[in-house]
Amino acid sequence: MQAIGFTADKTLRYLNCEKPVARGQDILVRVKAVGINPVDEKIRSRVTPASGEQQILGWDAAGIVEAIGDQVQDFQPGDEVWYAGAINRPGCFSQWHLVDQRIVSHKPQSLTFNAAAAMPLTSITAWELLFDRFGASSDSEGYLLVIGGAGGVGSMLIQLAKKLTDLKVIATASRPESHAWVKHMGADIIIDHGQPLDVELKKLGIGAVPLVASLTHTEQHLPSIVELIAPQGKLGVIDDPSALDIMPFKRKCVSVHWEFMFTRSLFNTSDIKQQKKILHQVAAAVDNGVLQSTLAQDLGPMTPEVVTQALNEVASGRMLGKLVMAGIEIE
């Protein structure tokens, strides 16, 4: 089996691996398409495999079940599935991939494999942030500020808030193309994150914001967030600031929430199946025309060169939506 990853020198290349065997809770998936995420570049930059070891990237996949373990009840060979995988297991940039059935759902019937592969990781992240961390519900009202609205998570968070709650969404964007993208995703108000966010909101006559999702450059925007967030508001963070001083939030009694979608699989939490349920609900919403894929660019079949190009684009911080690749071609 071929996969794409790296060894100690960090150069992306084809890796020859044994084809996995499905046992227990695992299903074996023939990977048809994958999505690119910032986590792929983070792993490549931070992980150095020991001599003789290798690291396979990829944590967003859509494909077809080929085999199932003896404890699997929810899937059969031939089922079309989508999932985001687990960060403590080999990634999905491979011809076949093993994944725990508890974090997998049947993919939306209305989407191609490529369109589906753009969504699992960002959908789970956005869903967990909005409903699990913020505690939002279908009747939630008021403002939600999404900092970095044009990226993969931002694109899903805007849609979920607009379609499944009564929240009014303010999204940030600094370029004409990102402005157009977040508007297309459903943002009610768009402000420039190249300017102080609290000042931009004051210009529009918007007062304190109860929910703030900081998806990128949190450290840079923190002083503005301190000013604009409402007393007893909630701040959600997904990026990796080098420092995060939350003392200025004390007088407002603001709660700070980390969101990391790999936590449930990493620690095998008692509610790990929640990710299957989230993906099932998102799939139903897609098939009912409520949500749309955030696929922005299809790069064709996976090769080391294409993956390298995609990682460079993601690392630039100027992405709209998601980049997707088809599976490794089998000769």
What CATH number does residue 242 fall under? 3.40.50.720
Q: What is the pLDDT of residue 330?
A: 62
Q: Are residues 126 and 91 in the same domain?
A: no
Counted residue by residue, the chain has a size of 331
Among residues of the chain, what percentage have pLDDT more than 90?
A: 89
Q: Are residues 8 and 114 in the same domain?
A: yes
Q: Are residues 279 and 229 in the same domain?
A: no
Q: Are residues 130 and 253 in the same domain?
A: yes
Residues 6+ apart with CB under 8 A from 78: 64, 65
Choose one of 258, 286, 307: the last residue of a domain: 258
Q: What is the pLDDT of residue 318?
A: 74
How are the residues of the chain apportioned to helix, strand and coil, as percentages rounded to the nearest 5?
35, 25, 40
Q: Is residue 162 part of a domain?
A: yes
Q: Is residue 25 part of a domain?
A: yes
Domain range for residue 65? 2-119+271-326
Q: Are residues 219 and 127 in the same domain?
A: yes
Q: Is residue 331 part of a domain?
A: no
Q: How many domains does the chain have?
A: 2
Q: Is residue 249 part of a domain?
A: yes
Provide the angle, in degrees to the nearest 10, between the axes of the packed helices 38-46 and 304-315.
Answer: 100
Cβ-contact 278, 103 below 8 angstroms = no
Choose one of 213, 237, 258: the last residue of a domain: 258
- The CA distance from 168 to 133, in Å, is 18
Q: What is the pLDDT of residue 198?
A: 95
Q: Are residues 147 and 67 in the same domain?
A: no
Q: Is residue 148 part of a domain?
A: yes
Kindly report the pTM of this predicted structure. 0.95
Choose one of 224, 258, 292: the last residue of a domain: 258
CA 303, distance to chain mean position in Å, is: 22
Q: What is the pLDDT of residue 157?
A: 98
Q: Are residues 128 and 177 in the same domain?
A: yes
pLDDT band, very low/low/confident/very high, at 315 (cuts 50, 70, 90): confident
Q: Are residues 103 and 219 in the same domain?
A: no
Cβ-contact 101, 82 below 8 angstroms = no
Write the CA distances from 171 to 24, 113, 211, 268, integer angstroms: 43, 28, 12, 33
Mean pLDDT, all residues of the chain:
95
Per-residue model confidence as pLDDT tens digits over 44-101: 888 888 888 899 999 999 999 999 999 999 999 999 999 999 999 999 999 999 999 9
Tell whether the model's pLDDT for residue 189 goes beyond 90: yes
User: Domain containing 69 — which CATH number?
Assistant: 3.90.180.10
Among residues of the chain, what percentage have pLDDT more than 70?
A: 99
Q: Are residues 83 and 112 in the same domain?
A: yes
